[in-house]
Structure 1
């Protein structure tokens, strides 16, 4: 018994998206069946889990399975499961709305891929945005869905021809679970539309894409009768129709790595990740002894679109003795490894474990520590043995991995070992800290770095001048997270990390091979300069008191007249901006103005001051000097209009 169907329209955005999916140039149309079987498998997993957690759930779990049924005359294919099912509201939410989040972005990118005739890009986008159910319309003119949630009395029928509308009706006698019936389009080999009612085709698709599904996929097949094929009991035709399980149901992670092909790994990854590209790296591991578990983890080849979005799904699937417990188990891996996908199967964990108790479970914590070390060691091995693969990994996930330098003190050294950073050593290739240390010059006792918004800005910074002249390598850190972790990570391999924009820099101290007389001569020269420039420094400190806390001579400048530096423990200007953007007000931080005693502008300013210390134009020159130093490091002027007027006036006076 069913109620009269009610017709609804897809949202305008969803209609556009559905049209793109149906008419995309996606070449491997077999994938629609894998999507439907994967959805059915998820429904069975969820029913098993809910029945374990809720003993009062009125649900039949005695024979959980997936069934494929065909009708060659009517050209229909039905995928049925007796899993958790859906309520009417869930049908509207999950089926009636396509790609609930990111619909417009998906539509735009898929349209671009289609116009570019890029089938691979289209396939990848379909997987990334989770609209696999609608891939059914690539092979079907109409799709019908009948479902009833376990524990509810009434079911729901959903039906659509993919033309922008769908119907909903109540079904009183619907069985538990979900049944999806595809009214197939005619065969078209040019468009890769095959006969999806043919037994051999369905068997081949299931074997290729869904052989590892942990639930039986059953289909009625034609088999020789017992005693047939020429035997005395053979009747005409010698065959009969029998229901057969057509997938192996072998949990891939429980098999030896020697028994698994690369293609099997790839297909399993695509199942658990809903990604359409091959994984970059496969990590198959097991632990034996007092606490046993098996893990099959994958590093994707591309970062997901929501890698840095709040609320994005992350984590791996947790099983206990091959029984599904939960997906997106965040307790097994830290947030900075949120891109890792896969399965962890524990042997001794309680089946009733909940998300609330995971953090306190000792065995979960033990698995967490071991899995983190395994992933990081795999990345380190990748870096050593396959530079191209590592380069891809770091380009996609390096920014996320560096977050671990802030949160995972236990593995901080391991994270530093697998990290790479841009540096002045090579304009194209990034470097590791271990490689940086191996190239340090004799007498150099620190790892130098500079943080900022872009490599170009950092390379042109006045702070770089003396380091460039002396051939000292500097790390150029431009990721926002770099501003934070360098404040907490003080050293690597016994070498301190030192910002070249903070504190005092004495590069002459790098030359330990100088004799005592040479050092004495330099010290005497430095003392004399301090004495000669003392009055000017004192006056500048007073004239610029509102903006700087100190004015001193610089040993890091060679061509620029001045630069702005901070004390060793000061917050950097970029980090200060980040805090303010997040709504965190900070007290104003005054910084230090360093001047180059050899620059003509500074020597002329000193001469003018000694000639007439009361000249009003000197104050304007001091403001210009400070403003130029701010602009050189990418800072913001307190009063740009005044700076422009003063500069224009001084230029006009000199013409």
Structure 2
């Protein structure tokens, strides 16, 4: 027995239990090696005119024997001599494919695509096999040789027979049960037609050569000539060799050669959706980092999009071989809904081919992908508004959340994509469309946040702002106000050759001072506040810590009172945060604003002047609770409120 040329037992144990995290990728590695072997022979045929070889003669076969517990991967590639078997398989981490790539770097083109890099993929077979036998016959040689090992101490090389050039890798699978690491494993999964076909489709669907298997099928038997009218069709089972993989990735085909139906079918099949995508677009980049990307914007949100279990990411391929089903680094969180693939042969993979060595490459691709998605969304917004509104209904929350979680740093990229319901125009508008319709003297972008558009449209404060000639954005998503708070301001983009206009502050109509009152109205409010200081003090005493102050409102026209928030936490924020474990204690600084021109105020004044403290208390509590109800806020004691209203009616 020959010893491995490294401390094989330690290295193999490290590789099997540490380098690879998924046992099923052994088939991906063996098929990739077979593809490299076929590629080498095909490359040789391109440079040696004596070798008459067509690409259609080259293939990879996968088979299994359930009784013998073997899985075999065979190729019709260049094969190996005895010395090459010893050098390539006897020295762990020696990559003949990498040496081939380096020696022929300038000669390779689209016709040759060597996958191997590290020379360890073959040994992943020992994750599932208790022994491996490799039978190989080099092209042009009359001799075949067999390499055998249990992956522990060493290996043997002996004479063998093989009819044609190429290599057979025969794995004798481990018995079901306990592994060396104490975990149980069912290796029978790899001894079924369905199991192997699934792995080929999943990891090696786009290997450039046919991956073939003998598969079971059924067909209808010919109808006998003497069959009567009551004849029922009979079926028989048979087997035939099928090509399992697609070979040519759809993202590498010319767009003119692919129909929309083919793109849609690929999307629905590979990303498990029953609906066609809303948009399909691609990227083809060449240069220092070459890659292809095929991206899809779904037409509907998956049920778990906003759950903690949802995992974003694009499928990452290297030389048509699946590396990661969902590479999270390729998508920013705010575009987590995008599906698709990225394929590059320039990526520097780690030894297991499951992650990347150099994240700078990934970041460069991710940056281009993000820009492309943004551009496509803007195109959809401008050219297909109805479709875009459906998109925003499904995924707009994520765009707003992206602005909020970035503390407003992403607003220049994402704010133009947002849509909000306009109270004046009664339709969804962008922020730019809101500003285009705004009066020249408008000082802020006004919005109201609440549970429903109908309720917000009826709010007294909203109607006051509308009466002044200014539009109000009615925001019903729980993230809307947090997004606006992070943005702080928004301004129109500068027209060509002009300076950008001054951005406007985003203001909640129920928070702070709106500065909509005329000087005369402000003066009247100040005088009313001074004249009725005793009344407001009494009302503040009735409400206690529930409000920070009671004052005369300069924003109300028809309603007797309203509740506003003086601090950074609005009433709507308080309502939303109350539903979270960490936000229950977050309270707004409430202000009860009284309409000094309303008839109810006259009743309050009369009660105060008559010294009727009970009536002042009753009216104050009713007004405050009514104002909370109008704002969509819960009241502390609904029974007490109902009793107070009943008392007024009696």
Fold conserved between structures, TM > 0.5? yes
8 Å contact 1:49–1:325 — kept in the other structure?
no
Q: Deviations over 1:142-169 (max 9, x none)?
A: xxxxxxx97842479xxxxxxxxxxxxx
Q: Deviations over 1:17-41 (max 9, x none)?
A: xxxxxxxxxxxxxxxxxxxxxxxxx
Structure 1 portions without partners, runs of 5+: 1-42, 70-79, 89-148, 157-169, 182-209, 222-240, 510-518
- Once residues 376 and 342 of structure 2 are traced to their aligned partners in structure 1, the CA distance between those partners, rounded to angstroms, is 17
Give the aligned partner of residue 47 of structure 1: 26
Give the aligned partner of residue 635 of structure 1: 633
State the shift of 1:537 in Å: 2.4
Residue 517 (structure 2) pairs with residue 508 (structure 1): yes
- Once residues 282 and 333 of structure 1 are traced to their aligned partners in structure 2, the CA distance between those partners, rounded to angstroms, is 16
- Once residues 380 and 327 of structure 2 are traced to their aligned partners in structure 1, the CA distance between those partners, rounded to angstroms, is 26
Q: State the secondary structure of the residue aligned to 1:508.
A: coil
Give the aligned partner of residue 422 of structure 1: 421
8 Å contact 2:562–2:627 — kept in the other structure?
yes
- Once residues 189 and 569 of structure 2 are traced to their aligned partners in structure 1, the CA distance between those partners, rounded to angstroms, is 67
8 Å contact 1:281–1:300 — kept in the other structure?
yes
Evaluate the alpha carbon distance shift between residue 387 and residue 278 of structure 1 in structure 2; reply closer, same or farther with a 3 A threshold: same
Q: Deviations over 1:410-442 (max 9, x none)?
A: 532221111111221344x31111101111123
User: Equivalences for 1:231-250 in 2 at 5 Å?
Assistant: 245=243, 249-250=247-248
State the shift of 1:52 in Å: 11
Q: State the secondary structure of the residue aligned to 1:472.
A: coil
Give the aligned partner of residue 262 of structure 1: 260
- Once residues 593 and 61 of structure 2 are traced to their aligned partners in structure 1, the CA distance between those partners, rounded to angstroms, is 74
- Answer with 1 or 2: which has the greater Rg: 2
- Once residues 310 and 47 of structure 1 are traced to their aligned partners in structure 2, the CA distance between those partners, rounded to angstroms, is 31
- Once residues 246 and 642 of structure 1 are traced to their aligned partners in structure 2, the CA distance between those partners, rounded to angstroms, is 73
Q: Deviations over 1:258-282 (max 9, x none)?
A: 3332233223222321223221111
8 Å contact 2:31–2:60 — kept in the other structure?
no
- Once residues 464 and 346 of structure 2 are traced to their aligned partners in structure 1, the CA distance between those partners, rounded to angstroms, is 61
Pick from 374, 377, 387: which aligns with 1:376?
Answer: 374
8 Å contact 2:61–2:212 — kept in the other structure?
yes
Evaluate the alpha carbon distance shift between residue 588 and residue 336 of structure 1 in structure 2; reply closer, same or farther with a 3 A threshold: closer
Q: State the secondary structure of the residue aligned to 2:361.
A: helix
- Once residues 357 and 572 of structure 1 are traced to their aligned partners in structure 2, the CA distance between those partners, rounded to angstroms, is 46
Give the aligned partner of residue 448 of structure 1: 446
Q: State the secondary structure of the residue aligned to 2:517.
A: helix
Pick from 354, 359, 362: which aligns with 1:361?
Answer: 359
User: Equivalences for 1:208-607 in 2 at 5 Å?
Assistant: 216-218=210-212, 245=243, 249-352=247-350, 361-408=359-406, 410-427=409-426, 429-493=427-491, 494-508=503-517, 519=519, 521-522=520-521, 524-586=523-585, 588-607=587-606
8 Å contact 2:563–2:593 — kept in the other structure?
yes
Q: State the secondary structure of the residue aligned to 1:447.
A: strand
Q: Deviations over 1:157-188 (max 9, x none)?
A: xxxxxxxxxxxxx99xx79554139xxxxxxx
TM-score normalized by structure 2? 0.63
Q: State the secondary structure of the residue aligned to 1:270.
A: helix
Evaluate the alpha carbon distance shift between residue 393 and residue 624 of structure 1 in structure 2; reply closer, same or farther with a 3 A threshold: same
Evaluate the alpha carbon distance shift between residue 482 and residue 353 of structure 1 in structure 2; reply closer, same or farther with a 3 A threshold: farther
Q: Deviations over 1:567-612 (max 9, x none)?
A: 1412434445435532444255441000111110012212332x32
State the shift of 1:314 in Å: 2.8
- Once residues 633 and 527 of structure 2 are traced to their aligned partners in structure 1, the CA distance between those partners, rounded to angstroms, is 32
Q: Deviations over 1:280-311 (max 9, x none)?
A: 11120122332222211111112112112221
Evaluate the alpha carbon distance shift between residue 356 and residue 621 of structure 1 in structure 2; reply closer, same or farther with a 3 A threshold: farther
Q: Which has the higher contact order (CA 8 A, sep 6+)?
A: 1
Evaluate the alpha carbon distance shift between residue 570 and residue 502 of structure 1 in structure 2; reply closer, same or farther with a 3 A threshold: same
Cα root mean square deviation, aligned: 4.3
Structure 2 portions without partners, runs of 5+: 1-21, 39-58, 65-71, 75-121, 129-169, 178-185, 196-203, 216-238, 492-502
Q: State the secondary structure of the residue aligned to 1:402.
A: helix
